[in-house]
């Protein structure tokens, strides 16, 4: 298991995760590798307690990675299942909007401003709702 905590700045969005200052968040190995060494983050690998001495011989990385991915998928699914209104989106900051754009499969760098991000989110969440029905 891996965790990251934003230690500088207010918010930071990366790979579908939105980090808030001083809030530790569980992440997968790929995100850990990306953020480890970034001066804005305190990253660490948390070792799971070993109940049985026999498990010490088994590789640790693969099982923990498999355990974590479903959690990320669940978090992402929960965000995708949320249908945002235009009013809610207007009340969000740029980082929050960009995280939703990423979750919907978009590239926030291709959207020029707040109105384009909001339009993208509203349009794409409608498409996902129709595809899910």
The angle formed by the CA atoms of residues 92, 98 and 103, to the nearest 5 degrees, is 110
* Range with the poorest average pLDDT among 3-17, 77-91, 110-124: 77-91
Which residues 6+ apart lie within 8 Å of 105 measured at CB? 124
Reply yes or no on whether the pLDDT at 86 is more than 50.
yes
| 24-40 pLDDT, tens digit each | 888 988 888 888 888 88
For 51, the token pair is 């109940």
| 95-106 pLDDT, tens digit each | 888 888 888 888
For 71, the token pair is 């959690």
| pTM of the shown model | 0.43
Reply yes or no on whether the pLDDT at 74 is more than 50.
no
What confidence score (pLDDT) does residue 83 get?
82
Sheet containing 2-6: order of strands: 24-27, 2-6, 41-45
Number of continuous H segments (helices) and E segments (strands) in the chain: 5, 5
For 53, the token pair is 């001495």
Token pair 């939105």: residue: 18
Dist CA 112 CA 108 (whole Å): 8
| 42-66 pLDDT, tens digit each | 999 888 766 555 555 555 555 444 4
**Cβ–Cβ under 8 Å, residues 29 and 19:** no
């Amino acid at each position: 298991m891996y965790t990251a905590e934003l230690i500088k700045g207010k918010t930071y969005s990366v790979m579908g995760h939105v980090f808030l200052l001083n809030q530790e968040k569980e992440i997968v190995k790929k995100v850990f590798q990306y953020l480890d060494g970034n001066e804005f983050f305190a990253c660490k690998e948390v070792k799971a307690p070993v109940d049985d001495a026999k498990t010490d011989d088994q590789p640790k990385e693969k099982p923990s990675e498999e355990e974590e991915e479903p959690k990320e998928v669940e978090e992402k699914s929960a965000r995708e299942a949320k249908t945002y209104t235009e009013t809610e989106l207007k009340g969000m900051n740029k980082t929050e909007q960009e995280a939703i754009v990423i979750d919907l499969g978009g590239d926030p760098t291709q959207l020029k401003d707040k109105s384009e991000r909001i339009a993208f989110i509203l349009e794409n969440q409608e498409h996902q709702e129709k595809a899910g029905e």
